[in-house]
Structure 1
């Protein structure tokens, strides 16, 4: 059986890889073909290890500016600091929007499995719904619908064993401690069916964010965003897929939505009671950068 060379992986990632490697062994010790679980785990780790080390040059200052302990820092400068210094930052993963998956797995728990609400095999879109407030009819933003493709410095083998999507997390699912019940909000997910252990809601990382800074990006494009780390659920995946939780106060995770094109609300079609509830998918593209900041002691 083939042994994958990991290099200096975090301890939890190494343990996960060891587990799936053992699960993939059979009686033929001369078989050098890695199992799907090995390929999936290696791909997950490579997405993090080979993520871009720098943000695009055009990131607005408002999105880069963070404050800890009353001191203001620039994410660009923090990304250039030595690893492990405090404060410092690193890009944990980066993704580009693509078409939505054709057959996404459910999210949730064995007792509460929910399929994500989006149009299958469709271009990435911002979805708007016609609503009435008093006597006024207007399009209101409802949810994102997109697949995701990792941006890495080198090609990542085994991506076909993974699934990536971006949608509106519906809330109402209690994952138990330490996560509990995350709030409704935009969500990013990585799924590895090869690691599901027979349970369709296992083998996933789900990140639910809340916007804290927006910057306009032209009349025809949805704004640039920075989202704070609101909740993160891991179910059997290595810990470095997305930026980590903020529960211990020593680290903060952000998602930056950059390079947006399209996606603005329609200008017609929501004019009367007969239009209320109608949805429109407006195609868009964007890059999402997950940034972890080690905060000062």
Structure 2
């Protein structure tokens, strides 16, 4: 009996082959996420009610709008009465343009940093309840630039149509325990 030499149809994957496969899956996952977020942005924009009047900046013009997906981070801390509860710490979110491209990173401060390195920090001026029950409030923030670039001329940021982000429903049990809550929102930047 003679075995014919046939090419191996399932060759073992090398380390570079594994890395390429993982990278391909990551890119595919990111593209799917971007597509889903673009759809979400369209749905939010289409269904969005006008913002409350206290969240509309005076003497400003809209620069651009984005949709955010991310987390609101909380930690368990004791209050003045020695009761432990979730306390908001900071956001961790990515903001996407209308075509689903990641354009801004949103973090502590609160701050927003664009791909070109420009950065603004916000301070709350006003808030209003979310139209979605159990969600973080809508906000109007004034901003100041901390780095030059595409965000340097932004004077105000609105956080609108929030979905989710409230403190975790699970009670916290240990001081400094960290919890998070996913959220979506529409961010509008004003000059």
- 2:51–2:160 contact (8 Å) kept in structure 1: yes
Match 1:129 to one of 59, 75, 79 = 75
Q: Indicate the residue corresponding to 2:142 in structure 1.
A: 228
Number of aligned positions between the proteins: 142
SS in 2 for 1:244: coil
Match 1:164 to one of 98, 104, 107 = 104
Q: Indicate the residue corresponding to 1:94 in structure 2.
A: 65
Gaps of 5+ in 2: 1-47
Offset, 1:234: 2.7
Describe how 1:38-49 pairs up with structure 2 within 5 A: none
Offset, 1:95: 1.6
- 2:85–2:171 contact (8 Å) kept in structure 1: no
Tell me how far apart the structure 1 counterparts of residues 170 and 138 of structure 2 sit (CA, whole Å).
Answer: 24
Q: Indicate the residue corresponding to 1:191 in structure 2.
A: 115
SS in 2 for 1:256: strand
SS in 1 for 2:50: coil
Tell me how far apart the structure 1 counterparts of residues 61 and 111 of structure 2 sit (CA, whole Å).
Answer: 21
Offset, 1:65: 5.9
Offset, 1:243: 5.7
1:290 pairs with 2:189: yes
SS in 2 for 1:62: helix
| Residues 77-120 of structure 1: per-residue CA shift (max 9 Å, x gap) | xxxxxxxxxx5x3211222113xxxxxxxxxxxxxxxxxxxxxx
| Residues 187-219 of structure 1: per-residue CA shift (max 9 Å, x gap) | 011124xxxxxxxxxxx1011001110101143
Describe how 1:201-220 pairs up with structure 2 within 5 A: 204-217=117-130, 218-220=132-134
Tell me how far apart the structure 2 counterparts of residues 220 and 213 of structure 1 sit (CA, whole Å).
Answer: 19
SS in 2 for 1:270: coil
Q: Indicate the residue corresponding to 1:147 in structure 2.
A: 94
Q: Which has a greater percent of strand?
A: 2
1:61 pairs with 2:53: yes
Q: CA RMSD in A?
A: 2.2
Tell me how far apart the structure 1 counterparts of residues 138 and 162 of structure 2 sit (CA, whole Å).
Answer: 7
- 1:128–1:265 contact (8 Å) kept in structure 2: yes
Gaps of 5+ in 1: 1-55, 67-86, 99-123, 169-184, 193-203, 246-252, 293-297
Match 1:259 to one of 141, 144, 161 = 161
Larger C-alpha radius of gyration, 1 or 2? Answer: 2
